[in-house]
Amino acid sequence: MFEVRNLSKVYNSGVINKASLKAVDDVTFSVDRGETVGIIGESGCGKTSLAKMVLKLLKISSGSMYLNGEDVSSIRGEKLKSYRRKVQIIFQNPESSINPHMKIYDCIAEVLRINKLASRKSEDEKALIYQLISMVGLQQEHLNRYSWELSGGQIQRVALSRVLALKPELLVADEPTSMLDVSVQAQVLTLLRSMQREQGFAMLFISHDLDVVRVMCDRVIVMFMGKIVESGTVDQVFSHPCHNYTKSLLEEYECLR
Amino acid sequence: MKNNKHIIIALTVLTAILLLFVIISPYLFSASYDLDMKNALQAPNSAHLFGSDNLGRDLFGRSFIGLRLSLALALVIQITCLFMGAIFGTISGYYGGVIDKVYIMIQDVVMSFPSLIASLCLIAMLGPGIHTLIIALSCTGWVTYARLIRSEVVSLKELDYIQGARAIGASSGYVLFRHILPNVLRPLIPLFTLMIGHTVLAISGLGFLGFGVQPPTAEIGLMIKDGLTYITRAPWMILAPGLLLCLYVWLFNALGDELQEWLNPKKDYLHI
Amino acid sequence: MEKLLEIKNLCTHFDSRNGCVNAVCNVNMDIHRRQIIGLIGETGCGKSVLGQSVLKLLPKNACITGKILFEGKDILKMSVKELRAVRGHKIAFICQNPAEALNPLMKNGTQIMESVRINQALSKKECRETSIDLLNILGFSEPKSIMHKYPNELSGGMKQRVLAAMGMSGYPSLLIADEPTKGLDAIKRRQVIATIRKFTETTGCAVLIITHDLKFASAICDTIAVMYAGEIVETGDMEALFNDPKHPYLMALIKSQPCKGLNVLNGTVCSLIDLPSNCRFFDRCSYAAGICQDQHPDLLTLNEAHRVRCLKYV
């Protein structure tokens, strides 16, 4: 359903001593409908740059992306808007993912208003928002609060409800639980899984935690220095790693048990 | 934390009363323009609370009327500056690239002149008067805001909630007005009040140099200039408008500082 | 074993506009020499406040009662001068964020030598040799070249080791590590473990590790204390605790790890402002019984080392 071909991102810096950094280097992969693909790798291996390019928040240096067979690598205007309805993101850091000057109600209503899913301050809007927050397990009292009055887990729930409002086809989860506690991580991950089952969206799950990836994903991609070094189903990669980097990754990881 | 609220209320009430006084001053002291040579250079007394000047005009009334003009001018100038700064700062910060580079060049040019001297040059070219005063001070003042707004926008636009807003399909205009501007403008409120004080001083300074408001209009800088001749015989001619100016400038600065603390969205948040 | 740090009935609370926040309530804890003890718990359970209380590094609105005896002396009653002699020299700190803890304008060598000189009266040459030794111990293959580099030329793990070298220079008897793995890769966690191990092997100091990371704690600690809503709810040997957890909270926490089935523990921690008079875990406990509703459990000794705060075992 979603496909990325030879995608690269190069950062240039300096005027006299031109230096370029390949954050993402010739990456090719695809995601099927309803499937969860994990991307693992160290911090700084280009995972987040990749996510932002998929969201079209970052310019692509070279390569192409396809959604449902349609080339989306250089769309603009209305087409971009409809693409963004279909592809959504959840960020890592709960502290910065919601505008601190807005109440939670407005945060969720914003999504509906921008995409004209309900008219401003109508009964429809209210009903829709109540339905959304009950889906992610929040109470109505939370709607009147600001983001800094909520815990990290609750903010990730708000972020998820914003995403669900648009009924996306692909959700990019950029380390959604790496800043959360163990018990809250379990709450958010199970919620994510049940929502996926309900709405049937595909998920690109970025994480450095192999345990989480093992639980959440069907297939997994290992990234190292901007390149894909290994990919396959979770069982394949975890039980028979081929690439040396994957092997050392798993080895280091096993030591922690 | 609780004290802060009380201080703000006290300061606001004080500012409001004094502002009201300043606003209605022309109606209260309509006689301040009348010459009365018999009572010239009187020390403060019951008829003239701040004394009288070399032409026998009441300094109390004239100080307030002068301040009214300065404050009104400062407000107009600062709003113009803020507006210009917001436009230039947000656009160059948000879009970056060539626009940003051009903007930085303009900013550097404006900032490389000391603002008072630049305003003096402009006024010298355009001729003194209230309109040129506004133009000159606006042209030199907007950079203060633009610079701050630009740097704030540059750091804000990388934040997740801004990126998130773009991801849900918001247009650039929406992101700018709904998410970026409110976050940028809030910290500017204290700067705004601070700059009002500054501008009042600048207007008075220009008046003092003869480049600002022209006599016989009452204006603080002009009054101080007139008083300079009589500084040994009638020091109140300088002290009365000068102290009043200090009081208002201080009031605006203090209010600005307190507001900044109060407007911080996380003021109620418990830091452990 | 000799007791190094003894915490007796420690309570720390903060005055805030919403009321009194009881961050730490009646905590008793002993740290012996050469022991690695882990304090685990989730955000807002008071574990960091406990760590900061030990060094008296708290904001002004905090109120600490109880006793913290370090080598027999009460830290809470020390003068500023005495406290300075303890901080850094006898108690070292490994901070959360190694990236910001080194001065970017000074070479690594200069910074390490500086801390060596503060702690030991040595000539400049001896300082240099000691610093190189320290770096060697921590597993740098070319300590001399590291000394000449600036912090930004090192990776995060290397920076943390440089910091560890600085902390080691005083041969402290206690090391406090507050969330040393927060925000780090699973891969980098192992480097942290190696660093802390090396640190303890060379200096022979005791370590207090404050973390929410169960895997990390189980990999490095001998003894574990679990905190919930300001109280210690279970303490014991690491093996015993993780293999046979007694408190329902710890059981649920272990089960909620992704590798243990991702079983959800519902609900949220009770507010630290108005604490319930009954068991603080009552609302979320799957074993809650009638008495749990009206009684606050005391810390119960199951066997020599294993203690638990639950009415189930009364």
8 Å CB contact of A256 and C42: no
CB contact under 8 A, B270 and C23: no
- Check C258 against A214: CB less than 8 A apart: yes
**Cβ contacts of B40 within 8 Å, gap of 6 or more:** B52, B53, B54, B55, B56
Distances (CA, A) of B125 to A182, B110, B112, C8: 70, 17, 19, 79
**A84·B164 Cβ contact <8 A:** no
Contacts of B2 in chain C (CB under 8 A): 17
Which residue in chain C is spatially nearest to A181 when comparing CA positions? Answer: C42
Q: Please judge whether A182 and C263 are an interchain contact, meaning their C-beta atoms are less than 8 angstroms apart.
A: no
Chain A nearest C-alpha distance from C227 (Å)? 13
Query: In the structure encoding, which two tokens stand for residue A1, read together?
Result: 């359903």
| Residue position matching structure tokens 């804000």 | B156
User: Which residue would you say has higher pLDDT here, B4 or C199?
Assistant: C199
How many angstroms separate the CA of residue B20 from the nearest CA in chain A?
Answer: 32
- Other CB atoms within 10 Å distance of the CB of residue B129: 14
- Encode pLDDT of C2-25 as tens digits: 788 899 899 988 887 777 888 888
Q: Which helix (H) or strand (E) holds C3?
A: strand C3-16
Q: Is residue C154 part of a domain?
A: no
Kindly state the tokens that stand for B119: 């305003």
One-letter amino acid at C294 equals D
pTM attached to this predicted model: 0.79
Tokens of B99: 């626009």
Question: Is B182 touching A (CB cutoff 8 A)?
Answer: yes
Q: Which of B1, B270, B272 sits opposite C49 (nearest CB)?
A: B272
Structurally, how many domains does chain C consist of?
Answer: 1
What region does B127 belong to: left with phi over 0, alpha with psi -120 to 50, or beta? Answer: left
Q: State yes or no: pLDDT of C313 exceeds 50.
A: yes
Tell which of B162, B168, B267 to mutate to test the A interface (max A CBs under 10 Å): B168
Candidates A52, A90, A92, A114: best to mutate against B (most CBs of B within 10 A) is A114
DSSP state of C45: S
Nearest to A256 among C44, C189, C263 (CB): C189
Smallest Cβ distance to C183: which of A42, A179, A253? A179
- What is the band of C225 on the pLDDT scale with cuts at 50, 70, 90? very high
Mean of pLDDT over chain B:
80
Is pLDDT at B270 greater than 60 in this prediction?
Answer: no
Which contacts (CB < 8 Å, 24+ apart) does range B88-91 have? Answer: B88/B142, B88/B146, B88/B149, B88/B150, B89/B145, B89/B146, B89/B147, B89/B148, B89/B149, B89/B150, B89/B152, B89/B153, B89/B184, B90/B149, B90/B150, B90/B153, B90/B176, B90/B180, B90/B181, B90/B184
Q: Where are the domains of chain B?
A: 2-29+57-263
**Chain B residues in contact with C227 (beta carbon < 8 A):** none
pLDDT, tens digit, 9 for 90 and up, residues B93-138: 888 888 888 988 988 888 888 888 888 888 888 887 888 888 888 8
Name the percent of chain B lying above pLDDT 90. 5
Q: How far apart are CA B7 and CA B5, in angstroms?
A: 5
CB of B57 closer than 8 Å to CB of B39: no
Mean pLDDT throughout C46-66? 83
Residues of C in contact with A182 (CB under 8 A): 42, 212-214, 253, 256-257
- Residue among B202, B230, B207 at smallest CA distance from B59: B230
Are A163 and A107 within 8 A, CB to CB? no
Q: How distant is the Cα of B152 from the closest Cα of chain C, in angstroms?
A: 22
Top pLDDT among B1 and C150 is at C150
**Euclidean distance between CA atoms C211 and C15, whole angstroms:** 25
CA of B93 vs chain C CAs: smallest distance (Å): 27
Q: Which range among A184-198, B221-235, B252-266, C191-205 has the greatest average pLDDT?
A: A184-198
CATH number of B2-29+57-263: 1.10.3720.10
Residue of chain B whose Cα is closest to the Cα of C43: B272
Residue B254 sits at φ, ψ, to 5 deg, of -65, -45
Measured between beta carbons, the chain C residues lying within 8 angstroms of B270 are 14, 16, 18, 21
* Per-residue pLDDT band at C183 (split at 50, 70, 90): low
Find the domain containing C222 and state its range: 3-90+172-313
- Nearest-CA distance B94 → chain A (Å): 13
How far is the C-alpha of C196 from the C-alpha of C198, rounded, in Å? 5
What pLDDT score does A172 carry?
92
Half-sphere exposure in the Cβ direction for B244 (13 Å, CA) = 29
Q: What CATH number has the domain spanning A2-254?
A: 3.40.50.300
Ranking A198-202, B42-46, C72-76 by mean pLDDT, the lowest is: B42-46
Task: Judge whether C157 and C198 are in contact, CB under 8 Å.
Answer: no
Whether B268 shows a pLDDT value over 60: the answer reads no
Q: Which residue has the tokens 């669900």?
A: A164
Return all residues near A156 (Cβ < 8 A) that are at least 6 apart.
A90, A94, A176, A177, A180, A188
From the list C14, C17, C18, the residue facing B272 with the nearest CB is C14
Cis amide linkage into residue B216, ω under 30° from 0: yes
**Out of A57, A85, A110, whose CB is closest to B163?**
A57
Judging contacts by C-beta atoms under 8 Å, the chain B residues touching residue A84 are 166-169
pLDDT band at B272 (very low <50, low <70, confident <90, very high): very low
Structure tokens at B254: 């203090």
What is the Cα–Cα distance from A231 to C85, expressed in whole angstroms? Answer: 55
Per-block mean pLDDT, blocks of 10 residues, chain A (257 long): 86 70 86 91 81 87 88 85 88 83 88 83 86 86 83 87 89 86 86 90 89 89 88 89 85 68
pLDDT of residue A37: 93
Decide if B164 and A149 are in contact by the 8 Å CB cutoff.
no
B48-80 confidence digits (pLDDT tens): 777 777 677 777 778 888 888 888 888 899 999
CA distance C15 to chain A (A): 18
Nearest by CB: A215 against C214, C258, C268? C258
Give me the CATH number covering residue C239: 3.40.50.300
Distance from CA of C227 to the nearest CA of B (A): 17
Residue-level pLDDT at B253 = 80
In angstroms, what separates the C-alpha of C206 from chain A's closest C-alpha? Answer: 21
Q: In chain A, where are the structural domains located?
A: 2-254
C43 touches chain B (CB under 8 A): no
